[in-house]
Amino acid sequence: MTNLDVYIGDRIKQLRNRNGLTQQELADRTELTKGFISQVERGQSSASVETLSDIVTCLGTNLSDFFKEELAGQMVFGEDDYFEKTTDDGNTVTWLVPSAQGMSLEPIIVGLKPGTQTMPDKAHEGEEFGYVLSGTVILHHGDSVEKVGKGESFIYKSDKIHYLSAAGNREAKVLWISCPPSF
């Protein structure tokens, strides 16, 4: 149980009560189980970003507004605040600021196992910056392919398909900042 899980659970419970809904009614609206809603509200289970978005939408808000209150009072974040997702191929995405979707930029750390890559991201508005913390990655940006090693950084406009792939035989970790948030 992390501080973020407890915070999210408390906020969901507050909004649910404000809307006059029981856990069962919220579960029915979101096509989840009452037990899962209860666990999330008690901070004993984490909802995926998609599931959390469904829950807060049913409660009459969106993810940006849901986290906005916390962001106004919190400027420093630690490990208990981070949210990490592991993909099917063992890669990780760690959100360093849980409420960054309401900001103009979003910092994450991407961990890439050897022989894997991030999901290709379609062209969109904005810019992205990365700093390789360990290992080596290949930056794919449209037709351009660049090797980026530990201690090196990259920056580009997000106007072309872009993604990272791991290079070498060890895990790579990249601090990645998107402006505006896109993860």
| Domain interval for residue 117 | 82-179
How does 79-93 read in b/e, with b if 16+ C-beta sit within 10 Å?
Answer: eebbbeeeeeeebbb
Share of the chain above pLDDT 90, in %: 43
- Residues 41-74: tens digit of each pLDDT: 888 888 888 899 899 988 888 888 787 655 456 7
97/152 same-domain check: yes
Identify the pLDDT of residue 169: 93
Q: Which of 38, 73, 108 is the last residue of a domain?
A: 73
User: How sure is the predictor about 84, in pLDDT bands with cuts at 50, 70 and 90?
Assistant: confident
Rg (alpha carbons) of the chain, rounded to whole number: 18
Identify the pLDDT of residue 73: 60
Give me the CATH number covering residue 19. Answer: 1.10.260.40
Q: Which of 73, 102, 133 is the last residue of a domain?
A: 73
- Residues 159-180: tens digit of each pLDDT: 999 999 999 899 999 999 988 7
92/153 same-domain check: yes
CA distance 83 to 9: 14
Indicate the residue type of 135: G
Q: Token digits for 27?
A: 């579960």
